[in-house]
Structure 1
């Protein structure tokens, strides 16, 4: 019988700050009596457990099981009796309100960390890494399926949305994006969208509402276009628009100071930094590697005639100081 029904009774006294005592009679109790609020905990052990050993005669923290492989974790409350919680000098039983344990609040200014692939990283970084890995695995799955799909990236995005694994939740924001590091590499423009760097799949300038107007949050420069990207600390970005439509020939239309161009111009007036992603043409231009280059300041803007004969806007941009340097030579040797 003793082997079939083994129980451990634990009595714990809680401080005065916990749930108030509701008296069942009009008689009062002393402060010392009210402070003694006890919870009785009973835990049943399975029949195949061996005898319990205790390193302390007063507490349960020293108890462990003699069975090999047993994990000596702290006892968990399995049953809480609502009677015999407070014992008075008159041996009267008083009921108390249930104990409510609140979840610990996140500390402001503190970065919560977690383990990911054996490394300690922030939760934001783990989230970025997880969603990129999920997306690339789906792209590989579609590529190897033999379905003959031309746009693997857009198909992967659509299928992951249908499966409920990803959704559009990245808000527009100025400055750095939590979890994204300078030098991060991306295989597709959609990946920029997934992590919150740049929400557009094709447009080069991303914008947001700010003070009753629009300013730029991120730009994607590319070696396939006319952007000047030879210097690692400066950039000449050509504005958007001013291109011919399909099957059109002749001189492209002039670029206008509206849309993304005006938003980027407002960054210069408002002195707001903008995120910059550089697109490197690899494998003889067949593949574009997108590298996050950090924050830039818009130092100037001028209108001039471009190589195609139309008027374009050139934005002179300077990289903000204090950021890690990107190993561009190593990036150009990157293998997809």
Structure 2
């Protein structure tokens, strides 16, 4: 490959099991060396016909007040199975009178294909934002149907029940792990040894699979540390990125949740990180980060600013996606060991970062977290 290609000299791990040929080709055409380790099974998502039919009959038993649709493939599969059982007309009648909240455009498309219309969908395509939309509402007495994606949404169901709702989860399919774990174990070693520049993720269950493999091999902490410092966790969208929050891993993802957009972002992100990254801040200020990824020293408007590890860890989380809100809970695991494990510790670290870079550099987003005040935000 020519050295002029944007990803020449970069080694990228790919965890996808489907459409993987397309992703690998996109990366290799840009000069990248690719390490492929499928995190999930290439077989179709497993559908438990008996359980799905029983759940469908439960939905039909009483009126439905609200439907939370989370995935396009899940809604399509549910409707297709209901059609095979002769239950589709009754199911659509039940759902037609319900308030429908859809997580993103794919679930919206599946609903509209069957003549159903969503009342609301978040621009973020995040299920957490669907739940946030419902927080504070009186859900007492409402019967809510939650269409699960490949992983359990039992915690979300419990949260809705605490608001007074009767919740029925419909498990359409489950995502199975890869049949051969050896490539994943190799990928974990490459991440922990910081032998990769980035790893791509196109589904939240793939994140869980990588972290499970890292735990099984005893390298979980090393993997987390590598993602926090040297290896870029590149996600196709905010839903996949959200799976990393509990691990304190900063992620990048494109504005549009599309494979080509994710690769295009890496095309700019990795060379910028190697060369040094310049961020245009609000108010005409400029922040320059070193090419080696170290944040102990940065340049603000050409003036060197030294940061201790705690505010440096906060800046690390914020610069991973400049202008994007990062929650206190997501920042907490990124703080240096020995830091008090509470959100107050995050607040103190943010205060120290503001003291070093200026109070307007970090914005507080009420009830959500913090973001870097970039130009145009």
TM-score (norm 1): 0.25
Q: Which has the higher contact order (CA 8 A, sep 6+)?
A: 2
Q: Please identify the structure whose Cα radius of gyration is greater.
A: 1
Relative to its length, the structure with more helix (as a share) is 2
